[in-house]
Amino acid sequence: MATMRDVAALAGVSAKTVSRVLNQDPHVRSSTREVVETAMRQLDYVPNTLATTFRSGRSPVIGVAVPDIVDPFFAAIVRAVERIALARDMSTLVTTLGDDPTRERSVLESLLRRQLGGLIVAPIGTDYSYLKPWGSRTPLVFVDRSPGRLPFDSFVEDDYRGAFDGANHLLHHGHRRVAFLGDSPTLTTTSARFAGYAAALSEAGIPADEALYAFGADSRGGAEEALERLLGLPEPPTAVFSSNARCTISVLPCLPRTRLALVGFGDFPLADLVCPPITVVAQDPEQLGTLAAGRVFDRLGHPHRRFRRRTVLPVHLIERLSCVGSAEPETLESEPAATSPSDFRTSSTTAFERKAAG
């Protein structure tokens, strides 16, 4: 591991001159430059990024913390961040937060201690006030989940509107008994989606019925249990609004035999190829990541400029077949066409079309 000094010694110049050559400083005689470059080659010299970074006080790294990197939604966010970062010669430090909120703080703080260029986080906890002192030093951007009333930048989807539209779509298909499937009502996204769902029903003059709300349905077991209870009701639902893709995927196996109609919040790979193809409210994780990363660089480049704190991205309904249901109570509008998942798509390749192994 040759250092700059070694190169300088061999080339018969000072370390500073080597540094100048390295940084394309024009104030170097070209003959000197060549001598230095030769010495660099001879010694197989590679600059030590660690030292440069340390000196500059800021690591050329963007941190990204998401609940689960294997989830295609979050993976798409990460990939987008990475693409933007790479264009600025920055790397991406990825952290999976898992589902234990108590670990979140220590994980994030250990990231922050690394003098990151910025941190993008889709948090799993509920209190982020401990991040406040860091915010003044490191650009901090929330994605997918809002930081509550804390003054951090955030890019989220229109959960309320999306859920409203999704539930409404089922109502338009003639359903009057529409169940709600969710994970935990304490999550801000889930509660916003619940509010949208409830508003749609209420606007249609349908009285609220708590018996139709099922939480904890984000695992196969939980979803199965929920469906069983719902179908055992005196007046069982004819349709289900699933408030996130994880719930949607969890009910999938039981769905055919229940003949329930379904609309899910969140598109996912192969949603158009399962039985039945799932009608979804689609988000755009790629854009979420792109915007968040862009904001990090905006903040870095213009420390004093003011930016809009909270940006809400629109979502849109993709009609497939599941919104019909095989026990549809009324006539249906028109046969929806199959549309491939539009999420998780780069310009060139569909995320999921990529080969899954070697």
Partner DNA sequence: TTGTAAGCGTTATCAC
Partner DNA sequence: GTGATAACGCTTACAA
Taking CB under 7 A as the criterion, which residues in 35-64 touch DNA? 47-48, 51-52, 54-57
Please, what is the minimum distance in Å from the beta carbon of residue 39 to DNA? 12
Work out whether 91 is an interface residue with DNA (CB under 7 A): no
Residue 138 within binding range of DNA, rule CB under 7 A = no
Regarding 1 and contact with DNA (CB under 7 A), the answer is yes
224: Cβ–Cβ under 8 A, 6 or more apart, which residues?
A: 251, 253, 254
Total residues contacting DNA by CB under 7 A comes to 29
**Does residue 108 contact residue 119 with C-beta atoms inside 8 Å?**
yes
E-strand stretches of 99-246:
118-121, 140-143, 153-157, 178-181, 213-214, 239-242
Stretch that binds its own copies, among 17-25, 110-118, 231-239, 326-334 (CB under 8 A): 110-118
Whole-number Cα distances in Å, 285 to 226, 242, 290, 304, 340: 29, 19, 8, 28, 16
Nearer to DNA, 39 or 263 (CB): 39
Residues 11-47, buried b or exposed e (16+ Cβ, 10 A)?
A: bebeeebbbbbbeeeeebeeebbebbbebbeebebee
Decide: 351 and 345 in contact? Cβ < 8 Å.
Answer: yes
Q: What x/- string results for residues 164 through 203 when contact with its own copies is judged by CB under 8 A?
A: -------------------x---xxxx-------------
Q: Which of 71, 104, 158, 165 binds its own copies (CB under 8 A)?
A: 71
Return the closest-CA partner of residue 69 out of 105, 98, 107, 108: 98
Q: Is 260 in the site for its own copies (CB under 8 A)?
A: no
> 317 pairs with which residues across the strands?
281
User: Which of 3-11, 81-89, 223-231, 300-308 is the region at the interface with DNA (rule: CB under 7 A)?
Assistant: 3-11
The answer to whether 1 contacts its own copies (rule: CB under 8 A) is yes
Choosing among its own copies, DNA, none, which partner's interface includes residue 339 (Cβ < 5 to 8 Å by kind)?
A: none
Nearest CB to DNA, comparing residues 28 and 94: 28
Measured at the CA of 223, the angle between CA 268 and CA 281, to 5 degrees, comes to 30
Residue type, 37: E
Q: Which of 9, 28, 93, 107 binds DNA (CB under 7 A)?
A: 28
Name the pairing type of β-strands 178-181 and 153-157.
unpaired
Binding of residue 339 to its own copies (CB under 8 A):
no
Binding segment for its own copies among 2-10, 29-37, 264-272, 321-329 (CB under 8 A)? 264-272
What does the alpha-carbon distance between residue 323 and residue 170 come to, in Å, rounded to a whole number? 6
Closest separation between CB of residue 64 and DNA, Å? 24
The CB density around residue 4, as the number of other CB atoms within 10 Å, is 20
Instruction: Please list the residues that pair with 133 across neighbouring strands.
Output: none
The least CB distance from residue 48 to DNA, in Å, is 4
* Contact mark string toward its own copies, 209..238, x via CB under 8 A: ---------xxx------------------
Q: Give residues 29-48 in contact with its own copies (rule: CB under 8 A).
A: 44, 46-48
Instruction: Evaluate whether 2 touches 43 at the Cβ level (below 8 Å).
Output: yes
- Shortest Å, Cβ 41 to DNA: 15
Q: Interacting stretch for its own copies, rule CB under 8 A, among 34-42, 196-204, 206-214, 350-358?
A: 350-358
Stretch of 7-15, 72-80, 200-208, 249-257 contacting DNA, by CB under 7 A: 7-15
Beta-strand relationship, 279-282 and 316-318? antiparallel
- Nearer of residues 69 and 300 to its own copies, judged by Cβ: 69
Member of 14, 202, 346, 349 binding DNA (CB under 7 A):
14
